[in-house]
Amino acid sequence: MSAPPPHRHIRRARETLGEAETVVVLTGAGVSADSGVPTFRGQGGLWREHRPEDLATPAAFARDPRLVWEWYGWRRELVSACAPNAAHLALARWQEGPRPIHIVTQNVDGLHRLARDRIRDGAGGSTTGEILELHGSLFRTRCTCCAAVEDSRAPIDATSEASLPHCGACGALLRPDVVWFGEPLDAHVLDRAFRLAARAEVCLVVGTSAIVQPAAAVATEAARAGAALVEVNPEVTPLLRVAQLSLRGRAAEIVPLLV
């Protein structure tokens, strides 16, 4: 683990973020690591212990929906026991301010939304900042036949195919509303993310290996369009080349100092 970033770097990042009229924040699994949600590629990462082709492809679901649902049911339970950390909460508080701060996340854990709900605490919010979930949500289902999408937090009973969740409207099998390998992202959500990135004065990137496309291109597109890129990650990523500032450290420690 590298030493904490010097104070002058934190100050510079604060100034850069503080002066921007429009900000896009791109987050990945690392922003939720301090909440106890496993990342994908780091130590103890999900793709170190499981093969994506067995669990996160349309072919895997067609072959063995029970196995795939069992895994997503386990992830739902795991994430349900986790709370937003100081980074999620700081970003949510920042979004309640007067300037539009948009969060584009690759995470399916719903913790940015939960943080926003916690900050508002039923008071009703006035933010213009959006939260775009590029890879979907663990807590939504999509019908494999009529494509109806619904919120869903109930535990998954994967003991048999009949016990798996089925569509209330047409009776067909439901699937998790997440993006699997080989599938396109929701075109509307992706288009919106790139539009926001192209207009942003600053792009803050937190906790992503920045190697999965097209998500990583949200950051590089923002930089190409002229945004200053500020990165928070304990490890070096490919964004080092385009980032104005790379702050080495954990999201929950660094992000609250910035926003």
Residues in contact with ligand OAD by the rule CB under 6 A: 28-30, 33-34, 39-42, 45, 56, 106, 135, 179, 207-209, 212, 232-235, 237, 250-251
Catalytic residue among 7, 135, 166, 188: 135
In angstroms, give the least distance from the CB of 125 to ligand OAD: 26
Tokens 């993006």 correspond to what residue? 179
| d(C-alpha 166, C-alpha 8), whole Å | 55
| d(C-alpha 4, C-alpha 27), whole Å | 20
| d(C-alpha 136, C-alpha 75), whole Å | 14
Nearer to ligand OAD, 14 or 199 (CB): 14
**Residue sitting closest to ligand OAD (CB):** 30
Query: Cis ω on the peptide bond leading into residue 214 (within 30° of 0)?
Result: yes
Nearer to ligand OAD, 62 or 211 (CB): 211
Nearer to ligand OAD, 88 or 250 (CB): 250
In angstroms, give the least distance from the CB of 39 to ligand OAD: 3
Secondary structure tally for the chain: helices H, strands E: 11, 9
In angstroms, give the least distance from the CB of 162 to ligand OAD: 27
50 carries an active-site annotation: no
133 phi and psi angles, rounded to 5 deg: -100, 100
Type of residue numbered 137? S
Q: In what order do the strands lie in the sheet with 202-206?
A: 131-133, 101-105, 23-27, 202-206, 228-232, 245-247
In angstroms, give the least distance from the CB of 146 to ligand OAD: 23
Nearer to ligand OAD, 127 or 208 (CB): 208
Active-site residue numbers?
A: 135
